[in-house]
Amino acid sequence: MRKRTAHARFSKVLDHVWVIGGIDEAGVDLAATTVATPTRLRLEAGTDDARPASCTYDLTGRSRTYAVDTKKADCNITYRRATAELPVTVKEIPSINRD
């Protein structure tokens, strides 16, 4: 049985997500902003026929461009069984000699 190891390469500009909340009560005006910044990429195999079931990689980057390349990482998902389809088209061709 041939095993296949999956490698992922990711490089993308990701926008930060933020929310601003505030309260203005009894003469107190208070506001705060919370910013979510991506730090990791988690891959899940999605099948019981792979080991490990998931891997998590730290994202590297700056200026909102985040990247990861798992080829030399300590954790990579190996698929121990795969399925494939090979669709075919069957066409009848009339023949003069039916022997």
**Domain assignment of residue 87, yes or no:** no
Q: What residue type is 25 in one-letter code?
A: E
**Domain assignment of residue 95, yes or no:** no
pLDDT given for residue 13 in this prediction: 81
**Domain assignment of residue 71, yes or no:** yes
pLDDT given for residue 98 in this prediction: 57
pLDDT tens readout for residues 33-55: 998 888 888 989 888 888 999 99
pLDDT given for residue 1 in this prediction: 55
**Domain assignment of residue 90, yes or no:** no
**Could you identify the residue written with the tokens 């926008």?**
15
**Domain assignment of residue 75, yes or no:** yes
Cα dist from 65 to 4, 20, 68, whole Å: 29, 24, 11
Q: Is residue 99 very low, low, confident or very high in pLDDT (cuts 50, 70, 90)? A: low
Q: 32 pLDDT exceeds 90?
A: yes
Based on the structure, what is the number of domains in the chain? 1
**Domain assignment of residue 97, yes or no:** no
Q: What residue type is 8 in one-letter code?
A: A
**Domain assignment of residue 34, yes or no:** yes
Domain range for 40: 4-79
Nearest to 58 by CA among 79, 78, 41, 81: 41
- Are 38 and 14 in contact by the 8 Å Cβ rule? The answer is yes
**Domain assignment of residue 98, yes or no:** no
Looking at per-residue confidence, does 2 or 49 come out higher? 49
Q: 2 pLDDT exceeds 90?
A: no
